[in-house]
């Protein structure tokens, strides 16, 4: 079973991982929000290709290598 996950960057440059529901861009508040709002902050230095100007959050896969 594959769980959908996303990365998003807020207008202030903060970077978040979303693991339950796909976030939607809220341009009024300058952040991405989701129905189950539980984003995990991660270092804003990571994934410079993820930008506030993106129309959609970036879908990602988590791979566990044993």
Domains identified in the chain, total number: 1
Q: Do the Cβ atoms of 9 and 52 come closer than 8 Å?
A: yes
pTM above 0.85, yes or no: yes
Q: Which residues of 8-37 are buried (b: 16+ CB within 10 A; e: fewer)?
A: bbbeeebbbbbeeeebebeeeeebbebeee
Domain with 32, as residue range(s), is 5-60
In-domain check, residue 66: no
Per-residue pLDDT, 1: 64
* pLDDT mean across residues, the chain: 92
In-domain check, residue 33: yes
In-domain check, residue 65: no
How many Cβ atoms sit within 10 Å of the Cβ of residue 57?
20
In-domain check, residue 30: yes
Mean pLDDT of the 9-28 span:
95
Query: What pLDDT, in 10s, does the model give residues 37-65?
Result: 678 999 999 999 999 999 999 999 988 88
In-domain check, residue 31: yes
């Amino acid at each position: 079973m594959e769980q959908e996950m996303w990365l998003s960057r807020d207008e202030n440059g903060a970077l978040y991982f979303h693991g339950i529901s796909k976030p939607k861009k809220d341009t009024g508040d300058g952040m991405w929000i989701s129905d189950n709002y539980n984003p995990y902050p991660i270092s804003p230095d990571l994934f410079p290709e993820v930008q506030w100007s993106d129309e959609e959050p970036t879908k990602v896969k988590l791979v566990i290598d044993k």
